[in-house]
Amino acid sequence: MNFLIGGILGRSFLTQSVKTFFIVFFIVFSLDFLIQIISEIEDINENYSFLSAINYLLLILLGRACEILALCCVISSILTFGLISDSGELTAARILGKPLFSTIFDILKPIVFFLLLSLFLLEFVTPGLEKKALFLKYGNSINSEQIKWVTKNDSFAKFKINNQALEDVLLYQFDLDKKTQKIISSEKVTITEEGWNFFKPKDITRNKILSEFIWQDGPEYGFKDKLGRKEMSLTQVYKILDDAGPKREKNMISYEFWKKLFEPISAISIIIFALAVSFKFFGLNKNLERLMFGVLIAYGFNLLLKIFGNIAIINGFSPGLAIVAPSLVLMFIGYRMFRNQ
């Protein structure tokens, strides 16, 4: 228990960190929610009433909270560090022999908890709520008439989505020279463990009715989901990644997977670096400067990850490395800056 609380000073720093986080979260979340309200009011029509808009907002509430949580953690950590520095508590703690890293650890304890809680909610709770919200808002316009394409290895499939099966399916298979080898059509396709099972398949290239046809390489996950990869759980994204076709598409899905998985580590890296810079370059009563720096470094680092991610996708190297490496480098720089102070 003493490890979690950290004694009297540790309890004080931890309490200050929690208070600051909730204040920052309330302000940022209120602003974000206000923007969402304005956006939904603009979308109200005869098929989407005001009451439906309210229900939609309530359903996406938790997802929006998880989305802004990492930014709130960065800002609140910097402000907490500044507050205990301005109040003299940081100096008193160092005089009493409390290491600087121990103080930072006390500040980060609730932050790590909130980040892990966010990861848990994004995995097990928010995807279901997002699906309900999507159906509530777009249920009348999303139907089986929407044509989709999937690709796997040297095959392409065009189809319409039905709740129970796929309809009006055309499967194009190519040889190594990229020439058409087969074109198989079917009014209905069911997905089984063996693959895509075609009902009354027809080989159009030979104008022949086949007794049976199973596309064994057919993907099992992802193409029927109405959620974007950003709203999907890590498990869903991983299943799609395992089933993905071309390397570029696989890299795009891999980037989204590693970005979700390592978001807590990226946030902690930003916090450690920002605290180190704040401690070294900002004096007393500079909380506004610390706040601006925290927001800029958070958005700047997120942009940097997107740049590295796109480079990885285009050039074919690991998107996971493009996410992890900058985070670890930033954390190491912050650590060295603390060590030299």
DSSP class per residue in 26-72: HHHHHHHHHHHHHHHHHT-BTTB-HHHHHHHHHHHHHHHHHHHHHHH
Same domain, 6 and 129: yes
| Number of other residues whose CB lies within 10 A of the CB of residue 214 | 14
Looking at the structure, do residues 191 and 53 belong to the same domain, yes or no? no
- Residue 169 reports pLDDT greater than 70: yes
In a domain, 241, yes or no: no
The verdict on pTM exceeding 0.75 is: yes
State which of 176, 208, 225 marks the end of a domain.
Answer: 225
Answer whether residue 107 shows pLDDT above 90. Answer: yes
Q: Is the residue at 231 inside a domain?
A: no
Q: Which residue has the higher pLDDT, 91 or 34?
A: 34
Q: Would you say residue 26 has pLDDT above 80? A: yes
pLDDT of residue 137: 85
Q: What's 169's DSSP letter?
A: E
Query: Quick one: pLDDT at residue 138?
Result: 79
207-224 pLDDT, tens digit per residue, is: 999 999 999 888 876 666
Does some domain include residue 235?
Answer: no
Is the pLDDT confidence value at 155 over 60? yes
Residue 197: pLDDT over 50: yes
Checking if the pLDDT of 4 tops 70, the result is no
Query: Is residue 326 scored above 90 in pLDDT?
Result: yes
| Higher pLDDT among residues 175 and 246, named by residue | 175
Query: pLDDT: is 138 or 166 the higher one?
Result: 166
pLDDT of residue 145: 54
Region 65-85: what's the mean pLDDT?
Answer: 93
E strands, 116-179, in order: 147-152, 155-161, 166-174
Of the three residues 205, 225, 245, the one that is the final residue of a domain is 225
pLDDT at residue 297, rounded to an integer: 87
Q: Token pair 């500040």 is at which residue?
A: 107
Name the pLDDT band for 263 (thresholds 50, 70, 90).
Answer: very high
Residue 68 lies in a domain: yes
**Which of 80-89, 142-151, 312-321 bottoms out in mean pLDDT, i.e. has the lowest?**
142-151
Two structure tokens written together for 115: 């980040």
Domain count across the chain: 2
Is residue 281 predicted with pLDDT exceeding 80? yes
Cβ atoms of 19 and 95 within 8 Å: the answer is: no
- % of the chain exceeding 90 in pLDDT: 48
Same domain, 72 and 150: no
pLDDT at 153: 77
225, 245, 269 - which closes a domain? 225
If asked whether residues 197 and 275 sit together in one domain, one would say no
Angle of CA points 115, 121, 126, to nearest 5° = 135
Smallest CA-to-CA distance from 17 within 122, 121, 90, 96 is with 90
Same domain assignment for residues 285 and 186: no
Q: Is residue 236 part of a domain?
A: no
Same-domain status, 128 and 156: no
* Percent of the chain's residues with pLDDT above 70: 92
**What range does the domain containing 55 cover?**
2-137+257-339
117 lies in the same domain as 266: yes
Pair 166, 131 in one domain: no
39 inside domain: yes
CA angle 269, 21, 257 (to 5 degrees): 45
pLDDT bracket for residue 143 (50, 70, 90): very low
Task: Report whether pLDDT(3) > 70.
Answer: no
Q: What is the mean pLDDT of the chain?
A: 87
Same domain (yes/no): 109, 38: yes
In a domain, 250, yes or no: no
Tell me: do 64 and 178 sit in the same domain: no
- The pLDDT, as a whole number, for residue 144 is 46
- Residues 208, 103 share a domain: no
- Is residue 232 included in any domain, yes or no? no
- Residue 221 is predicted with a pLDDT of 66
What pLDDT, on the 0 to 100 scale, is given for residue 2? Answer: 52
Question: Higher pLDDT residue, 124 or 10?
Answer: 124
State residue 163's pLDDT score: 67
Considering the domain architecture, whether residues 128 and 271 belong to the same structural domain is answered as yes
Nearest to 103, CA basis, from 333, 278, 264: 278
